[in-house]
A and B are shown apart, each in its own frame.
Chain A
Amino acid sequence: MQFFFEVLIGGLLSGIMYSLVALGFVLIYKASGVFNFAQGAMVYFAALSLVGCLEKGAPLWLAFILAFVIMTLLGIATEKFVLRKMVNQSPIALFMATIGLAFFIEGLAPMLWGNQVWPLDIGLVDEPIGWILDRYNIVVSSFDLTAAGLAMALVAGLALFFQYTRVGRALRAVADDHQAALSIGIPLQHIWALVWAVAGFVALVAGMLWGSRNGVQYALTFTALKALPVLILGGFTSVPGAIVGGLIIGASEKLAEIYIPPVLTDIFGGNFGGIENWFPYVLALLFLLVRPEGLFGERHIDRV
């Protein structure tokens, strides 16, 4: 039983890391109704900028602020040179634009900072928390727990922001109908630049945590793929959905890895390792059949 809880908690905490990446997608999807293919590239770019500033000798807090400034500039530039031309275009055109943007950022990042694998040390240690190990004999990584705490705070803040503030409401309005938002005087330019900057901030936090765990390298761009089943499960438009989706994916992935292969081996014989690599996607697929808008996503409203 202790082993079960250890696996479960480990899974939930790593799920939060997925949520963090998914959150960036949700933000941009909410504000512009477009799936931002470049989110993975932004995570990579943010982490690389952070490391780059650290390498130049800046302390962590300063490097973080500098990286955030860089991400904000990137967001503003994206609005000015890409999105502004795309008002009132179909979502697929915007999506294509983000694919282009992804390639651009993936090229820009190593050009600015070099393409070697950097280690990133943000002062968090990855070791079991003592008192939990003593009392319950369960291994819980302090790194995972801190990361989860950070992610939770970020999510709570964003959810409140979207639901209750003037700008948050405007963001949701823009997501629903660009033109109508324009007609009542909401300046799309500011809103979009803002949301890309916030998405950049989320990418920075995600990049920092993932980077300090796996090293800052090009492979970070693939964390975006892990966010996909999370989004399908939680819903593309929901901030809490990204969290719950991440938890479910993280936990089910780890549990499936441990508990399903022995059962399969019993029945069919042979070796069933590596199940965790495809299990989330199968889960997402099943979900698409039952509830295509996700657990917390906005239902598509059609008048008939």
Chain B
Amino acid sequence: MSAYLSINNIEVIYDHVILVLKGVSLEVPKGGIVALLGANGAGKTTTLKAISNLLRAERGEVTKGSIEFEGKRVDQLTPNDLVRGGIIQVMEGRHCFAHLTVEENLLTGAYTRKQSRAELKRNLEKVYAYFPRLKQRRGSQSGYTSGGEQQMTAIGRALMANPQTILLDEPSMGLAPQIVEEIFEIVRDLNQREKVSFLLAEQNTMVALRYADFGYILENGRVVMEGEAAGLRDNEDVKEFYLGLSSHGRKSFRDVKHYRRRKRWLA
């Protein structure tokens, strides 16, 4: 598989002082699902925002390295250019437009596309086909819908822009396990049928590695481990630190503070 979206050794600084990413490199192949894993504050969201260039609105800046999409540098483009070009981010915490109805939320997603009314309608129906629940709730203000429905609205809204790559930030946040499965099933579906590539940031390592092909683990703004998802799932370090499993099976919380293993990459 060819590299399609690639990040080369980027460094991100917030407010001119806070160094958040210290040289992150990663690749998303065309049509792949890549998981970006790590604990709170590891730099997952920052990495995604560096790509979608939402960083600037938060006074962050890519100071070193480059970001390429289909062989072209994209690190200076505005979010508007990027969405037109096929990269869109679904932000952590869903960020639906609370006072707009579910359907209006979806329609705003098509803002960057010049299309006829019929085309728009077709796209809307396509999104409803993936998320039948949204069709039932199309007339409700999205502020009043459930967390799962809001996550679906946010993904559906991004789909309306007809993206080639979706940067999906923490889709499992605050959702019941069953809904999380449902969302990830749809992600896989979209990946297979619509050929949309995904770069997804997740804390829920277990689920993410089940659906992704490839994974990167971030810690303190660096990639500390990468590999095929299946390989990462079986890795002892990953099991211990991110899945809460050790060679004795599930770990007791009593022992949590006393690491038997050391994080070797910190040495």
Q: Is the CB of B80 within 8 A of A185?
A: yes
Complex CA gap A178/B110 in Å reads 17
A267 contacts across to B, CB distance below 8 A: none
A303 interface hit (Cβ, 8 Å):
yes
Count of interface residues, chain A, beta-carbon cutoff 8 Å: 24
Q: Is the CB of A183 within 8 A of B108?
A: no
- B145 (CB) vs chain A CBs: closest residue: A303
A60 interface hit (Cβ, 8 Å):
no
B212 interface hit (Cβ, 8 Å):
no
Q: Beyond A185-B80, A298-B99, is A179–B54 a contact (Cβ under 8 Å)?
A: yes
A180 contacts across to B, CB distance below 8 A: 91, 95-97
Q: Is the CB of A176 within 8 A of B88?
A: no
A182 contacts across to B, CB distance below 8 A: 54, 57, 79
Q: Is the CB of A301 within 8 A of B98?
A: yes
Complex CA gap A199/B109 in Å reads 25
Q: Mark B63-80, 1 if CB is under 8 A from A, else 0.
A: 000000000000000111
Complex CA gap A172/B98 in Å reads 10
Inter-chain contact total with CB atoms closer than 8 Å: 86
A187 interface hit (Cβ, 8 Å):
yes
Complex CA gap A179/B79 in Å reads 10
Q: Beyond A179-B57, A303-B143, is A184–B108 a contact (Cβ under 8 Å)?
A: yes
B179 interface hit (Cβ, 8 Å):
no
Q: Is the CB of A183 within 8 A of B89?
A: yes
- Give the interface residue-count category, chain B: 35 or more
B82 interface hit (Cβ, 8 Å):
yes
Complex CA gap A183/B161 in Å reads 11
Q: Is the CB of A169 within 8 A of B107?
A: yes
Q: Mark B128-141, 1 if CB is under 8 A from A, else 0.
A: 00000000000001
Q: How far is the CB of B93 from chain A (nearest CB, A)?
A: 9
Q: Is the CB of B88 within 8 A of A183?
A: yes
Taking a contact as CB atoms closer than 8 A, the residue among A169, A179, A186, A187 that contacts B100 in the complex is A169
Q: Beyond A169-B108, A301-B141, A301-B143, is A183–B100 a contact (Cβ under 8 Å)?
A: no
- A301 (CB) vs chain B CBs: closest residue: B143
Q: How far is the CB of A79 from chain B (nearest CB, A)?
A: 15
Q: Beyond A182-B54, A184-B108, A185-B161, is A177–B79 a contact (Cβ under 8 Å)?
A: no
Q: Is the CB of A87 within 8 A of B57?
A: yes
- A88 (CB) vs chain B CBs: closest residue: B57
Q: How far is the CB of B6 from chain A (nearest CB, A)?
A: 21
- B89 (CB) vs chain A CBs: closest residue: A183
Contact sample, A vs B, 25 pairs, CB 8 Å cutoff = A87-B57, A169-B104, A169-B107, A169-B111, A170-B108, A172-B100, A173-B97, A173-B104, A173-B105, A176-B100, A177-B95, A179-B95, A180-B97, A182-B54, A183-B88, A184-B83, A184-B88, A184-B109, A184-B157, A185-B80, A185-B84, A186-B80, A186-B108, A237-B99, A303-B147
Given A166-B111, A173-B97, A184-B158, 13 extra CB contacts under 8 A: A88-B57, A169-B107, A170-B111, A172-B100, A175-B99, A182-B79, A183-B54, A183-B89, A184-B83, A184-B88, A184-B108, A237-B99, A303-B143
* B interface, CB within 8 angstroms of A: 52, 54, 57-58, 78-80, 82-84, 88-91, 95-100, 104-105, 107-112, 141, 143-144, 147, 157-158, 161
